Amino acid sequence: MGKFKIVGGNKLHGSIVPQGAKNEAMQIICACLLTEEKVRITNLPNIADINNLIDLMKDMGVDVERTTPNEVSLQARDIDFSYFETEDFSNKATRLRGSVMILGPMLARFGKGFLPKPGGDKIGRRRLDTHIIGLQKLGATFENANNYQKVTASNGLKGTYMLLDEASVTGTANIIMAAVMAQGETTIFNAACEPYIVQLCRMLTSMGAKINGIGSNLLKIEGVEKLSGTSHRLLADMIEVGSFIGMAAMTGSELTIKDAGIKDLGIIPDVFRRLGIKMEFRGDDIYIPEQEHYEVETFIDGSILTVADAPWPGFTPDLISIVLVVATQAKGTVLIHQKMFESRLFFVDKLIDMGAQIILCDPHRATVVGLDRAQQLHAVKMVSPDIRAGVALLIAALSAKGESTIENIEQIDRGYQNIDERLRALGADIKRID
């Protein structure tokens, strides 16, 4: 297992370009199954989760043409249905959270699909109810097999009205991909409306789908018989953008984030501004000046700032761990409330070991007392529990005094492309040891 050795305390300088959005890429790759024509995807992040999903597509019979590390063409002419009943499919799909989104397009186009036990981060209970109930309402039938469920729509999918029990991003994406080729009209209320979903809808529309209400939580989809190929460019990854803002603040560095996709960031910049971080928008770039101190805003009644995650357009849960780390060196106190997932805050033990003042209230809440750099964090040895916590610990290590070690960096590699090389280009002292 690989690890990072990081000598902290260095100021970073220069500019960095965020990779394409990982969460969007998972949906877009699965959507290629809706057509027998070629689908070209650009600005693709060259990371483990995406490469594993593309390899899974190849094993399913999809023609894959990788022109550059960040561009791929997929053509799903002939699907090998026998592959879905193999142990290899079960093993590979189980390691990937996004593999569940294969199901919707397979049902739409072929009337059958396979649902493996999903993998990904172990960050509390992540239900599949939204996917299953939504597809059942469209006419799908689920049947237990060995390591998977066989799903069929013997009479084809039929449009219907549904109110989702939660605004699940992957659940909404799966249902949309199934509905675009269902007979009649499908209405989805309480749909997720993240930029990733908007992008998926735009791509499907360019393929010939009929979708109304894009960007809202009420979607109306008129089913079509066939979809064509298309070319699609992914958004900048908002989680990387947020991570780089936090990194600049923690290390007191001057940094420019190029092509940040500002209009699709929602309230992310505002949340970091509430922590006292200054930034300027220059076209589509974010400039963060060198800042020795940053002070947390209080609410108008004087109560302490609370940062909580919520479905879009609320604050994304993927940046909660980054905000928590950044708050450790702010001036002021912040209550971090991770509502959507359990167990994501347990990495704070390591931050406490580094000298941070944090009270872990319960699995969902932590109170951070900012040190205003009066006490620099000190280096420790740590293990990355998941993608986002791993990067949060990486940011902490970059600001800490001494040499830190982060093990299990395969978790970080799942979500961040060549992160060590990109940080070295900014002046970070980070080495990868295999």
- Around Cβ 293, how many Cβ atoms within 10 Å? 12
The dihedral through the CA atoms of 190, 192, 198, 201 has a sign that is negative
Say how far residue 369 (Cα) sits from the centre of its chain: 28
The domain boundary, picked from 233, 260, 283, lies at 233
Do 7 and 81 fall within a single domain? no
For residues 415-427, average pLDDT: 95
Tell me 19's DSSP state: P
CA distance 167 to 90: 27
CA distance 334 to 369: 7
333 is written with which tokens?
């106190």
Pairing of strands 218-222, 285-288: unpaired
Do 300 and 423 fall within a single domain? yes
CA distances from 46 to 29, 189, 204, 311, 399 (A): 13, 34, 23, 27, 27
Contacts of 229 by beta carbon, 8 Å cutoff, 6+ apart: 35, 37, 38, 39, 40, 75, 207
Peptide bond into 311 cis (omega under 30): no
Q: Does residue 343 carry a pLDDT above 90?
A: no
Residue whose C-alpha is closest to residue 55's, from 99, 4, 117, 115 = 99
The domain boundary, picked from 233, 248, 281, lies at 233
Do 179 and 268 fall within a single domain? no
Do 293 and 267 fall within a single domain? yes
Tell me 311's DSSP state: S
Do 35 and 7 fall within a single domain? no
Q: Catalytic residue, from 49, 78, 121, 372: name it.
A: 121
Contacts of 69 by beta carbon, 8 Å cutoff, 6+ apart: 44, 46
Task: Give the confidence band of 129 by pLDDT, cuts at 50, 70, 90.
Answer: confident
DSSP letters of 141-155? EEEE-SSEEEEE-TT
For residues 234-261, average pLDDT: 97
Q: Does residue 118 carry a pLDDT above 60?
A: no
96 or 294, which is more confident: 294
pLDDT, tens digit, for every residue of 345-354?
A: 889 999 999 9
- Around Cβ 362, how many Cβ atoms within 10 Å? 8
* pLDDT of 92: 87
* pLDDT of 1: 72
127 or 279, which is more confident: 279
Phi, psi of 56 (to 5 degrees): -65, -40
Query: Domain total for the chain?
Result: 2
Evaluate whether 360 touches 366 at the Cβ level (below 8 Å): yes
For residues 203-219, average pLDDT: 98
| CATH code: domain of residue 116 | 3.65.10.10
Tell me 378's DSSP state: B
The dihedral through the CA atoms of 47, 318, 359, 275 has a sign that is positive
pLDDT, tens digit, for every residue of 158-207?
A: 999 999 998 999 999 999 999 999 999 999 999 999 999 999 999 999 99
The domain boundary, picked from 205, 233, 261, lies at 233
For residues 249-268, average pLDDT: 97
- Around Cβ 87, how many Cβ atoms within 10 Å? 9
Q: How far apart are the first and last CA of the chain?
A: 6
Do 273 and 140 fall within a single domain? no
Q: What global pTM score does this model have?
A: 0.92
Do 219 and 277 fall within a single domain? no
- The secondary element (H helix, E strand) that includes residue 130 is helix 129-137
Evaluate whether 347 touches 383 at the Cβ level (below 8 Å): no
* pLDDT of 257: 98
* pLDDT of 397: 97
Evaluate whether 330 touches 294 at the Cβ level (below 8 Å): yes
Domain that holds residue 205: 22-233
Lowest mean pLDDT of 153-157, 173-177, 260-264, 389-393, name the range. 153-157
Do 336 and 210 fall within a single domain? no
Evaluate whether 148 touches 103 at the Cβ level (below 8 Å): no
Say how far residue 53 (Cα) sits from the centre of its chain: 14
Percent of the chain with pLDDT strictly greater than 70: 96
Do 427 and 347 fall within a single domain? yes
Q: Does residue 117 carry a pLDDT above 70?
A: no
One-letter amino acid at 106 equals M
Do 148 and 270 fall within a single domain? no
Task: Tell me if residue 56 falls in helix, strand or coil.
Answer: helix
* pLDDT of 124: 38
pLDDT, tens digit, for every residue of 26-67?
A: 999 999 999 999 999 999 999 989 999 999 999 999 999 999
Contacts of 277 by beta carbon, 8 Å cutoff, 6+ apart: 245, 248, 249, 288, 291, 294, 326
One-letter amino acid at 225 equals E
Known active-site residue 121: yes
Question: Over the chain, what is the mean pLDDT?
Answer: 93
CA distance 363 to 19: 31
* pLDDT of 126: 47
* pLDDT of 298: 81
Do 302 and 197 fall within a single domain? no
Task: Tell me if residue 32 falls in helix, strand or coil.
Answer: helix
- The secondary element (H helix, E strand) that includes residue 270 is helix 268-274
One-letter amino acid at 142 equals F
Do 285 and 229 fall within a single domain? no
